Amino acid sequence: MGAEPFDVAGAAEEDLRAVHRVMLAAQAVDRPDEAPLTFEALVGALRTPPAGFGPRRCWVLRRGGGIVAIAFANFPEAENGHLSLVTITVHPEQRRQGVGTAFLRDLLPELEGRTVVEGWEITRGGAGEHWATAVGFRVVNTMVLQLLSVAEVDRATWDVPAPAGYRVEDWAGATPDALLGSLAWARNALRDAPFGDIDFQAPLWTPERVREAEADLRARGVDQRMVVAVHEESGDVVGVTEVEVRPHRPRWASQRETSVLRAHRGHGLGRCIKAHMAWRLLADRPDIERFYTTTSADNTHMIRVNEAIGYRTVRTLVSVKQDVAVLASHPGVRG
Ligand SMILES: CC(C)(COP(=O)(O)OP(=O)(O)OC[C@H]1O[C@@H](n2cnc3c(N)ncnc32)[C@H](O)[C@@H]1OP(=O)(O)O)[C@@H](O)C(=O)NCCC(=O)NCCS
């Protein structure tokens, strides 16, 4: 039987439980350092996918009547309208029997005309990377996953005063009107960060897109926090860091983009705003247990900033990509 669309909202509990069994067993093999995924966290993650990557569709593959694999495809919009971000997970007991490859073959025609597929956050050196290269993907970036454990950190490392000439501001949710224009501009500095040869482009932020993204996160029940560095002389935002806390994982803070405009780099603003974020979030949400973030392995500045405030690297990840047409005609996939 081929790939079947899986409607997360309408799925029967029995099928959700089966998907959970696949994801939990895969996690134990592929990401053994992680705390085991609970059923509630999985359902929450299925219902509240990360924002910023367009609509998501899911499929399952059954063998002998049971679900043995699940796939997600995101369809990002605007500058990424040619891309689909795909993740396929096969139950470890069903691996090396052609399931993952058969699933990919079924999905390629379902990708709504997208011409390039990317797969992200694949454990380096694991089954995912071996499989991806065997079916024709290219490894195009290497990332590190870093974790800050609040119980273990020395909070003195978060005492980082603003450098002379700058002040720090923070908020939850809506950006103050007075800072909206310069915030949008400063967020675009993320486009300078190295992301290897991936096709995905960070959004080109405008005030309207910032407001749309805020509304999207609000609708998903995400607590979005911003800390910014303001240049006193101009009154402009010149550095930004964003954290999101998702409703199904209220004790985990996802540290997302951090960017400082080129003209203001080298003053320690990145460390200052990230450290302030840690203090600020903990003050409001003392039950936060961990921050986690991913950064390109060659982004040595950001990795060093993270380490200075208590992050440690827990895993190395790769991103892969390939044209849909190349995958479809690859001897391993064509069958
Ligand atoms: C990646 C994954 C989907 C592959 O599923 P699978 O059903 O085992 O893959 P297939 O049986 O179709 O493998 C096809 C070929 O890929 C290669 N391959 C797959 N797993 C491999 C491994 N662990 N080591 C080396 N080569 C491997 C082999 O060439 C294999 O052919 P062979 O078994 O005849 O030698 C599965 O390992 C998984 O769920 N991993 C975790 C999630 C993940 O990382 N997904 C990444 C893709 S988005």
Count CA atoms within 13 Å of residue 98 on its CB side: 9
The pLDDT score that the predictor gives to residue 113 is 97
Q: Let me know: does 88 contact 71? Beta carbons within 8 Å.
A: yes
Q: What confidence score (pLDDT) does residue 174 get?
A: 97
Q: Which amino acid belongs to residue 271?
A: R
Tell me how far the alpha carbon of residue 100 lies from the centroid of ligand 1, in angstroms. 6
Q: Which residue has the tokens 């000439």?
A: 165
Token pair in block for residue 54: 């367009």
pLDDT of 1? 66
Cα dihedral 41/47/53/58 (nearest 10) = 100
Q: Is the CB of 131 under 6 A from ligand 1?
A: yes
Distances (CA, A) of 226 to 215, 257, 274: 15, 10, 10
- Average per-residue pLDDT for the chain: 96
CA–CA gap between residue 125 and residue 158 (Å, rounded): 34
The predicted model gives 75-79 an average pLDDT of 95
Provide the pLDDT for residue 194.
Answer: 85
Per residue in 135-163, pLDDT (tens digit) is 999 999 999 999 999 999 999 999 999 99
Closest Cα to atom 42 of ligand 1: 89
Whether the pLDDT of residue 20 is over 90: the answer is yes
Q: Is 27 in the pocket of ligand 1 (CB under 6 A)?
A: no
Q: How far is the CA of 177 from the centre of ligand 1 (A)?
A: 49
pLDDT band at 102 (very low <50, low <70, confident <90, very high): very high
Residue 168 CA, ligand 1 centroid: distance in Å: 47
- Distance from C-alpha of 64 to C-alpha of 138, rounded to nearest angstrom: 33
- Whose CA is closest to atom 16 on ligand 1? 131
Q: Is the pLDDT of residue 33 over 90?
A: no
pLDDT number for residue 334: 87
Token pair 């080129």 in the structure block, residue: 262
Q: Give yes or no for residue 335 having a pLDDT over 80.
A: no
d(CA 189, CA 238): 9
Percent of the chain residues past pLDDT 90, beyond the cut: 93
- Whether 95 and 42 have beta carbons less than 8 Å apart is answered as no
Atom of ligand 1 nearest to the CA of 123: 44
Please tell me the predicted confidence (pLDDT) of residue 191: 86
- Please report where in the chains the tokens 């950190």 appear, as a residue: 153
Angle (deg, nearest 10), helices 300-308 and 269-284: 40
Average pLDDT (74-103) is: 97
Per-residue pLDDT, averaged over 292-311, amounts to 96
The domains located in the chain, with CATH, are 4-114 (3.40.630.30), 148-317 (3.40.630.30)
Distance 95 CA to ligand 1 centre (A): 6
List C-alpha distances in Å: 75 to 71, 117, 164, 324: 13, 10, 43, 14
Per-residue pLDDT for 128 more than 90? Answer: yes
Residue 190 pLDDT greater than 90, yes or no? no
Q: Which of 143, 139, 119 is nearest to 299 (CA)?
A: 143
Q: Is 125 in the pocket of ligand 1 (CB under 6 A)?
A: no
3-class DSSP state for residue 93?
helix
